[in-house]
């Protein structure tokens, strides 16, 4: 539930004082952009940039910034924390800052309730990405809730995937906030404590507007391209401020592949595969390292994937056609061969004696499931070990294919 941090108390209290100083040093319209994820990523990805301002139309209402650095609270899946507070202003609650600790990059479930605890009316519910790059993070959550001076409200976080162990929340010991209560639930039960979460609540008295360099006017944007993204904030009282965040998007590597031959016989040897840039991975049915081994008739899609130094991956593919190529030394007319399933046996009837020929049966993935030798014009093999599905057979003699086909086996 609650865990001591391995570093010294002195170091953590120093960081706490830095947080307090940072809050106190805000001018009336300071704006900060918080990336909700990495700002360098591969093509096809995205990052959300969230802007928050303390503009003169926003008033800091309730605040608890005392953080006991030697004690932190888990925020793993199955854990739930809430902090109640008593509003000191009547207006619109537009933002709650909440303290998180150490590296976090995972899903959380954020909820705001009326009253103390989570038994009252739900006022807001959000699925959010909690991202803290390490150390102490005071993250902002946007709200649009009407609050009344003297009434009690509660915000709650439930941990989702990606939360670290063991630390998650910044908390203060000894009930440093007297206008509310902190409670939490872990898998072993429900507890009330004399701790309080680090938090701030902001109430709007006029209004703040946002204008991004993209033309969007929400407090957050989602971007997919490289560039500098600037937001301009205007407060109702006339203050103006701006902030810029740089985003870098890496192009996917140019990947190509080919093979020594794109049309082969079932009886052929392996086919060499080639991919550029060098150092990627081939995959697909019948593939081992950089070769393809034909095993049954069909069209086989082969893939080549390459990951560059930025961690960006791209893939190319080709199709290799595998055919039954009858041997030149012996061709049997189709009406002289009869292959069929009856019960749990596969029967082969031929018009002449094929003693010494082999019968190979493969599944749809090209894996051999039966190898047998013929000893006359009439032969049968047990197939009761096969699963229901489509199978391919091939008759060979003297290293050449003399017949092939497919059949269905069902139990």
CATH number at residue 339: 2.60.40.3080
What CA–CA distances, in Å, run from 277 to 262, 304, 309? 20, 10, 12
Same domain membership, residue 312 and residue 390 = no
Assess if residue 192 is contained within a domain. Answer: yes
Lowest mean pLDDT among 95-109, 162-176, 374-388: 162-176
**DSSP tally for the chain: helices H, then strands E:** 1, 34
- Please give the pLDDT value at position 326: 56
Token pair 């830095």 in the structure block, residue: 18
Task: Report how far residue 34's alpha carbon sits from residue 139's, in angstroms, rounded to the nearest whole number.
Answer: 8
Coil/strand/helix, residue 337: strand
Q: Which pLDDT tens digit goes with each residue over 25-53? A: 334 567 889 998 999 999 999 999 999 87
- Asked whether residue 103 falls in the same domain as residue 222, the answer is yes
Residue 157 has a pLDDT of 94
**Looking at the structure, do residues 202 and 58 belong to the same domain, yes or no?**
yes
Tell me how far apart the alpha carbons of residues 194 and 175 are, in angstroms, rounded to a whole number. Answer: 5
Spatial distance between the Cα atoms of 321 and 47, rounded to a whole number of angstroms = 42
Residue given tokens 């593939």 in the structure block: 287
Residues 183 and 237 in one domain: yes
Residues 316, 363: one domain? no
Say if 328 falls within a structural domain. no
Confidence at residue 269, expressed as pLDDT on a 0 to 100 scale: 75
Domain end residue (candidates: 290, 323, 356): 323
Residue 361 lies in a domain: yes
């894996």: which residue's tokens?
Answer: 367
Same domain? For 281 and 349 the reply is no
Q: Are 137 and 185 part of one and the same domain?
A: yes
Q: How confident is the model at residue 55 (pLDDT cuts 50, 70, 90)?
A: low
Bin 24: left if φ > 0, else alpha if -120 < ψ < 50, else beta.
alpha
Distance in angstroms (rounded) separating the CA atoms of residues 59 and 28 = 10
Evaluate whether residue 357 is within a structural domain.
Answer: yes
Question: Pick from 107, 163, 104: which is nearest to 132 by CA?
Answer: 104
What pLDDT does residue 18 have? 29
Q: Which of 270, 297, 323 is the last residue of a domain?
A: 323
**367, exposed or middle or buried, with CB in 10 Å at 0-12, 13-18, 19+?**
exposed
Question: How large is the average pLDDT for residues 78-96?
Answer: 91
* pLDDT over 70 (residue 14): no
- Mind listing the pLDDT tens digit for each residue in 335-345? 578 888 888 99
Are 222 and 169 found together in one domain? Answer: yes
Domain boundary among 250, 280, 315: 250
Q: Could you give the angle at the alpha carbon of 157 between the alpha carbons of 134 and 89, nearest 5°?
A: 100
**Structural domain that includes position 241:** 2-250
The whole model's pTM is what?
A: 0.42
Residue 190 has pLDDT above 90, yes or no: no
Instruction: Please determine, for residue 204, whether its predicted confidence score (pLDDT) is greater than 70.
Output: yes
Q: Would you say residue 101 lies in a domain?
A: yes
């Amino acid at each position: 539930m609650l865990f001591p941090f391995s570093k010294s108390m002195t170091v953590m209290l120093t960081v706490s004082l830095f947080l307090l100083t940072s809050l106190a040093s805000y001018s009336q319209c300071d704006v900060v952009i918080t990336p909700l994820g990495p700002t360098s990523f591969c093509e096809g990805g995205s990052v959300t940039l969230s802007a928050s301002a303390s503009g003169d139309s926003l008033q800091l209402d309730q605040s608890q910034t005392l953080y006991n650095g030697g004690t932190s609270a888990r925020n793993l899946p199955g854990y739930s924390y809430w902090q109640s507070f008593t509003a000191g202003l009547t207006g619109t609650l537009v933002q709650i800052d909440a303290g998180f600790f150490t590296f976090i990059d995972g899903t959380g479930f954020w909820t705001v309730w009326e009253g103390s605890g989570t038994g009252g009316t739900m006022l807001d519910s959000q699925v959010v990405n909690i991202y803290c790059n390490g150390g102490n993070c005071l993250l902002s959550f946007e709200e649009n809730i009407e609050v009344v001076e003297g009434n009690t409200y509660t915000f709650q976080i439930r941990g989702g995937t990606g939360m670290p162990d063991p630390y998650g929340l910044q908390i203060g010991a000894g009930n440093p906030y007297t206008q509310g209560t902190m409670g939490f639930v872990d898998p072993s039960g429900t507890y009330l404590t004399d701790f309080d979460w680090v938090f701030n609540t902001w109430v709007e008295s006029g209004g703040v507007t946002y204008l991004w360099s993209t033309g969007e006017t929400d407090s957050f944007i989602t971007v997919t391209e490289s560039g500098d993204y600037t937001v301009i904030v205007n407060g109702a009282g006339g203050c103006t401020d701006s902030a810029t965040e740089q985003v870098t998007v890496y192009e996917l590597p140019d990947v190509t592949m080919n093979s020594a031959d794109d049309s082969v016989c079932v009886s052929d040897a392996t086919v060499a595969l080639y991919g550029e840039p060098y150092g990627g991975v081939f995959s697909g049915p019948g593939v081992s390292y950089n070769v393809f081994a034909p095993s049954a008739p069909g069209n086989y899609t082969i893939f080549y994937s390459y990951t560059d130094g930025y961690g960006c991956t791209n893939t190319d593919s080709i199709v290799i056609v595998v055919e039954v190529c009858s041997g030149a030394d012996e061709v049997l007319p189709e009406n002289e061969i009869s292959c069929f399933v009856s019960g749990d046996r596969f029967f082969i009837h031929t018009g002449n004696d094929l003693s010494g020929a082999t019968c190979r049966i493969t599944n749809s993935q090209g894996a051999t499931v039966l190898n047998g030798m013929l000893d006359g014009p009439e032969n049968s093999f047990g197939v009761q070990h096969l699963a229901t599905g489509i199978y391919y057979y091939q008759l060979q003699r003297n290293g050449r294919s003399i017949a092939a086909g497919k059949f269905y086996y069902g139990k």
